[in-house]
Amino acid sequence: MKVVITGGAGFLGKRLAKALLAKGHLTGPDDVKTEITELVLFDIAPSSELTDDRVRYISGDISDKATVKKLIDENTASIFHLAAVVSAQAEEDFDLGFRINLDGTRHVLEAARALPHTPKLLFTSSIATYGGPLPDVVADETAQMPQTSYGTAKVMGELLVQDYSRKGYIDGRSLRLPTISVRTGLPNKAASTWASSIIREPLCGRDAICPVSETTPMACMSPAKIITALIHAHDLPAEAFGATRSLLLTGISITAGEMAAAVERHKGNRQLGRIVWEPDPDIQKIVDGWPRATQSARAEKLGFQKDDNLDDMVRGFIEEDLEDQLALYSSRS
């Protein structure tokens, strides 16, 4: 069974690849448990971190139609489409955002459509698809009204996955992900990057800049629960999704101030870096338009896991990722 992960060299892509290799199998297009024999990790930046014989790295541009068509060939049974330009970057560069986030998604769908069989395709959407006046807790019935180009492209991606599935071209499913915290790596141009950096950097003894106020809430979900959700969504039978192939995931509400306090609680004998509060009106505006919390009764009914509290999320980072994060900083010094 050949599985393709677009954005395979990114944070989620790498974690998903490791989880799939450990699992060793997925439910194939015919809903039969099938061994993963080839895992292709596609990204704009080349990488070679995983040395498993089943892994193949391919670098290229998701917005190049010919490249994507070659990537998703007749042997491809499943596709995890994670590749995207992040929120603030898509807002700054309108053309780049839609070229990658919309045109790239369309190329993936068209390549899947051309296959002689119906592949499974999982699309990562975002709670950035919501906006405008929102309830305290966004639920399954809350209407999507994106206030950014990133969120708009994600809504259009969801609708395309829905329609291509309706036509029988793919067996698609889309997950609206809350903000992922705590991410490893370095700060990026995502408007939500602070939700990881103000935990990650101080615990590594480095200063972090937070561009939003201490009272700013964010709907968050841990990396471990996200990866579990991606695989669970892939393996569910199509009929489980009912009329819509898009699904909201439950994310707990955490403020920037609560994140800072959690770092203090879990510092142990570490020398913490500082959290520097530097308001950025553009970032604050984007984040203020996103859900403060999400609650999906539908996801819970379908067996998706959720996080219990912030302290578990911080402990998870310390136990699973802190050493790798410190090694990353050391390699760059």
Catalytic residue numbers, as ranges: 150
**What is d(CA 91, CA 85) in angstroms, rounded to the nearest whole number?**
10
Distance CA 320, CA 314 (A): 10
Residue 53 CA neighbour count, 13 Å, CB half? 1
Token look-up 């790596």 returns 185
The set of residues, in sequence order, having a beta carbon less than 8 Å from that of 240 and lying 6+ positions away, is 302
Cα first-last separation, the chain: 41
Report the distance separating Cα 197 and Cα 18, nearest Å: 23
| CA–CA dist 186, 200 (Å, integer) | 9
User: How far is residue 37's CA from residue 79's CA, in Å, rounded to a whole number?
Assistant: 14
Closest CA relative to residue 56, chosen from 43, 69, 74? 43
- HEC sequence for 150-185: HHHHHHHHHHHHHHHHHCCCCEEEEEEECEECCCCC
Q: Number of H helices and number of E strands within the chain?
A: 13, 16
Residue type, 228: T
Record the tokens describing residue 171, joined without a space: 């067996």
CA distance 278 to 244: 41
Going by DSSP bridges, is the β-strand pair 294-295/120-126 parallel, antiparallel, or unpaired?
A: unpaired
Strands 138-139 and 179-180: unpaired
